[in-house]
A and B are shown apart, each in its own frame.
Chain A
Amino acid sequence: MNVLSFLNLVDLLVCAVVLIAAGGAALHRNLLSAVVFAGVASLAVSFLFLRLAAPDVAMTEAAIGAGLSTVIFLIAVRRTQETEEEDR
């Protein structure tokens, strides 16, 4: 298999992971699960930035998105409540 088409296949799989993780982060009732899904989406987007030859953007995304925002969201969930309220 040609290397270029093979790497494009890897990119498509990572895009599918981004879609799944973003849908999970938007739809889950349990906010801890939503935080974990957001972390996975950030990781996959960081890999896509790396594939687009932007290693500095990928490094910032890995530092801020995967490291800091997960911890900050966890502190926010800890101080409020763990599950989302039902729609009225």
Chain B
Amino acid sequence: MNNPVLILELALVLAGAAALLAVWRLLKGPGPFNRAVAMDVLGLVTMPMMAALALYSGRGIYLDVALVYAVLSFLGVTALARYADRGL
């Protein structure tokens, strides 16, 4: 159990399972705002996948992509929430 690659594989499997559940909600959700929540969850789950990929490949620039996506997915979901409030 002291293999660091095994930990990365376990993290990717767990994040992938969470992403599959979010995709299920994305396909099934009756309205667009259920799908907006699913998009938010997918963004949240993809960030640790990118971080695990950065840790695996040893390139720190991959963490910046996760950072940019974290800032900007917030923008998209906030715009959808403002649309739901009829205030965009």
Contacts and interface: CB of A to CB of B under 8 A. Distances in A.
B1 interface: no
B23 interface: yes
A55 B9 contact: no
A39 B37 CA distance: 12
A30 B32 contact: yes
Interface residues of B, number: 40
A35 B38 CA distance: 13
Chain B contact residues: over half helix, strand or loop, or mixed?
A: helix
Interface of B: 5, 9, 12, 16, 19-20, 23, 26-27, 31-33, 35-36, 38-39, 42-43, 46, 49-50, 53, 56-57, 59, 61-62, 64-65, 68-69, 71-73, 75-76, 79-80, 83, 88
Interface in A20-64: 20-21, 24, 30, 32-33, 35-37, 39-40, 43, 46-47, 50-51, 53, 55, 58-59, 62-63
B88 A66 contact: no
Nearest to B20: A13
Given A10-B12, A59-B64, A78-B88, A47 B27 contact: no
B69 A36 contact: no
